[in-house]
Amino acid sequence: MDISEIFILIICGLFSGAINTLAGGGSLLTLPLMIFLGLPPSVANGTNRIQLIFQNFFAVYGFKSKGISNFKFSSYLSISSAFGAILGAFIAVDFPEDLFKKVLSIIMILVMLSILFKNKNDSQNLYDIKNKWLSILFFFIIGIYGGFVHAGVGFIMIMVLTNVNHIPIAHSNSIKVFVALIFSIAAFIIFLYEDKINWIYGINIGFGSALGAWIASRWSYNKSDKILKYILSIILLVMSVKLWFF
């Protein structure tokens, strides 16, 4: 690996870490890049977990340093999603790639519309028992998908947290990165066991993603939901178009 490839990996990781912290879909940048640079798809998928662990660890710490965290609720969702991620990492699904991209792009558009046209967030609903159990169930399913490929899983987590639990986007992001950290570790263990990790690629892209996540988490903590909605919607729109047409 030459210096130019290292630079590309770090820069791509930087953008991935920032995008994943603010919204999701960063793996839609890093996975194709690592495949383009020569890694087999399964190894790229496993190696991608390193940067996910890096970025989510620093994002969690960044949000916590600004007083935004909900450890108890995040732990419930993390346990549920971790079991799902272990299952997802073991599943070998022969799902057509083109169809998968189109389905994911539709999900992104629906998430974007849901976030844009949702006018009220009532954080008290977070403590509703029915909503808690419903979100725990959803996060088990999210964990299965996250363990399988992860790309775009952040959008789905935000959709559940904002619509089921009615949590503002900045707080949803703080919960999302905590949950993603835990189930990424669970999935990483499976990929490591299957010898699907390239440490050189993973550490370089992980360094960039950690920096991106730290910057994004500390920048976004006090931004209004309106600003974050627009940023999230732009990212969603660009990613969905890319998935559908390219």
Tell me the pLDDT tens digit for each residue of 86-109.
Answer: 888 876 445 565 665 566 567 667
Tell me the pLDDT tens digit for each residue of 49-66.
Answer: 898 898 888 888 878 877
For residue 153, give both structure tokens.
Answer: 């899983």
Which pLDDT value is given to residue 199?
A: 93
For the chain, the domains span 3-245
Which pTM does this prediction carry? 0.72
Position 127 pLDDT exceeds 70: no
Q: How far apart are CA 26 and CA 19, in angstroms?
A: 6
More confident residue, 168 or 230: 168
Which pLDDT value is given to residue 233?
A: 67
Tell me the pLDDT tens digit for each residue of 134-168.
Answer: 888 889 988 888 887 777 788 788 888 888 878 87
CA-CA-CA-CA torsion sign (41, 46, 51, 55)? positive
Which pLDDT value is given to residue 243?
A: 59
For residue 245, give both structure tokens.
Answer: 């047409």
Which pLDDT value is given to residue 63?
A: 81
